[in-house]
Amino acid sequence: MTFIQNAWYVAAQSRDVSAQTPLARWVIDQPLVLFRDGKGAPFALADTCPHRMAPLSMGVLSDGCIQCPYHGLRFDSAGACINNPHGDGRIPDRAKVRSYPAVEKYGVIWVWMGAADSADPAVVPHFPFMDDSEFYVAMGEMVIDGNYQLENDNILDLSHIEFVHPMFSSPAVSAGVVSHEIDGEIVWSRRDIHNDEHPPQFIREVFHVPEGPVDRWLYVSWQAPSYLSLEAGGMAVGAAREQAMTSMQVHWFTPETHQRTRYYYGNSLPKFVGPEGQAIVNSSCAALRPPFEFEDKPLVEAQQMRIGDRNLLHENPIVLNIDAAGMAARRLIQLRLEQEAQSLGDAQI
């Protein structure tokens, strides 16, 4: 098994990366050290000193450079060794560590895991509603002992709600129409719930429909390798769609290893809702955690225990209509992996 290389992955939340304390993180089986320079720009380097393999993240940061904890080799933010405190101070040619292009956007640090010269910040996925200049934004994270594709499946499959999250469900949810659509490299998964006469109380509150039947929907969009957004909307039956309240979430899954994933989840409200907006998104974000942690996570981890180091699809599972979106995502990932293997082969000829 392998991972898509040519992609921006979320390596950490912005708030956890500083110019004072290096942060160690794994992304697609590679150890990284994250830090900022004096101006606050984020950087990501391979977290292994080329001298004796000590983790640079155990070292000392100063002036946007990191010093190996063991023998003091100092590396600048581009990964070049700029000081050898020993002997004649000559710096060996190979004294450098891989530098990963890093971009800060939407409250997180994105790192490019492919060849550095192919990194294009313009292709960081677009989640404009996570832009904190225009939105109140909140975010949480969690480590899952499971493969990231199980998490893609989980969010793209809107049918599991009534079984895994009964609190969010109602008879009308079960009757909701599930559909999916493949739009180029985007996979959409949608659940439209019409005429819900007994929605959970929080639905009435979030979408401002104090009484009467409700039309509501969940629209998920996915793009490779594992970036999803979820729009939840609701309105009185018969109201105009364009005036409905909607709530936006992100679900970003960073593979740390084949069997471990760091899950970033977030939500937002437009700033025009007024200054109480930040408290509301904070509270909503906190409310998301218990179902993710106590309902989804144990299931995904139990799946992983069963699957082990095998590939779910090689186990010949039965496929239901609700898997369509997830299967489409898996196919797009597979296609990207084959393209990368192909171009690697071409490059080696």
User: Which residues lie near a copy of itself (CB under 8 A)?
Assistant: 31, 48, 50-55, 58, 67-72, 84-88, 92, 94-95, 153, 157, 159-160, 162-164, 174, 178, 298-299, 302-303, 306-307, 312, 315-323
Nearer to a copy of itself, 282 or 303 (CB): 303
Nearer to a copy of itself, 48 or 226 (CB): 48
Nearer to a copy of itself, 88 or 242 (CB): 88
Query: Is the Cα torsion angle 182, 183, 186, 191 positive or negative in sign?
Result: negative
- Cα–Cα–Cα angle for 195, 199, 204, nearest 5°? 100
Q: How far is the CB of 94 from a copy of itself (least distance, A)?
A: 5
Which residues does residue 282 pair with via DSSP β-bridges, in sequence order? none
CB 150 within 8 A of CB 283: no
| Sequential DSSP letters for 166-185 | GGG--HHHHHSEEEEEEETT
* Three-state SS at 142: strand
Q: How far is the CB of 348 from a copy of itself (least distance, A)?
A: 20
Q: How far is the CB of 244 from a copy of itself (least distance, A)?
A: 26
Burial of residue 87 (CB within 10 Å: 0-12, 13-18, 19+) is exposed
Q: How far is the CB of 171 from a copy of itself (least distance, A)?
A: 12
Q: Cα separation of 333 and 134, whole Å?
A: 32
Nearer to a copy of itself, 130 or 329 (CB): 329
Length of the chain: 349
Q: Cα separation of 194 and 133, whole Å?
A: 34
Q: Cα separation of 13 and 4, whole Å?
A: 21
Two tokens, residue 189 = 């998964």
Nearer to a copy of itself, 204 or 260 (CB): 260
Backbone angles phi, psi at 219, to 5 degrees: -120, 120
Q: How far is the CB of 179 from a copy of itself (least distance, A)?
A: 11
Nearer to a copy of itself, 86 or 198 (CB): 86
Q: How far is the CB of 93 from a copy of itself (least distance, A)?
A: 8
